[in-house]
Amino acid sequence: MTNLNPIPEAHSNAKRLVARSYPRGAGLASEERRVLEAVCDEARSKGELTRSQWERLRSVFGERFNNAWRLVEERRVKRYVFEPSRRTVWIVVGQGGEYQVLPASGYCSCSDFYFRVVDGKAGVCYHMIGQRLAEALGAYSEVHEGDEFFDRLMAEWREANFGRF
């Protein structure tokens, strides 16, 4: 049988490898992050989420926004501040446990982040959306702990999250 593919087999395999290196949703993922940050910046300056911002977030994130907004409403976003160092850790209480969110790094310890965000299928998980919105609106719980608890709490959060995979 004649090969109708004008691309030689070796070149075709290389092309597939390159395609895997650049996820198809990478442009969508960066657009999601851009929209989220723009809305959070506006909400932070106004102290509220407007109807148009709400609709924009719903159109971009769909059900992830609904889940994130529930986190904000139920104050399931926690900001741990350790004293006297002032180290800060963001924890989001999701459906399956407590997840650490690193906003500056764009990271969440949930499995959705691992399976969808890392693969480029999404820009953020709903825990990250919830954390960003809660921070922008000042709608989070703040927990103060002594520095002596930092290592123990970090170990507990790591153990809880790595045990899921």
Local confidence band at 12 (pLDDT 50, 70, 90 cut-offs): very low
* Residues 53-70 pLDDT 10s: 999 999 999 999 999 999
Closest CA to 91 of 152, 44, 122, 134: 134
Tell me the Cα Rg of the chain: 20
CA pair distance 66, 127, nearest whole angstrom: 11
Half-sphere exposure of 159 (CA within 13 A, CB side): 6
The set of residues, in sequence order, having a beta carbon less than 8 Å from that of 46 and lying 6+ positions away, is none
Structure tokens given for 62: 């769909």
The predicted model gives 118-134 an average pLDDT of: 94
Local confidence band at 2 (pLDDT 50, 70, 90 cut-offs): very low
CA pair distance 95, 128, nearest whole angstrom: 14
Percent of the chain with pLDDT over 70: 81
Q: Return the residue matching tokens 């509220």.
A: 48
* Residues 77-103 pLDDT 10s: 999 999 999 999 999 999 888 999 999
| Mean pLDDT, the chain, whole residue set | 83
The predicted model gives 28-57 an average pLDDT of: 93
Local confidence band at 113 (pLDDT 50, 70, 90 cut-offs): very high
Q: Has this prediction a pTM greater than 0.85?
A: no
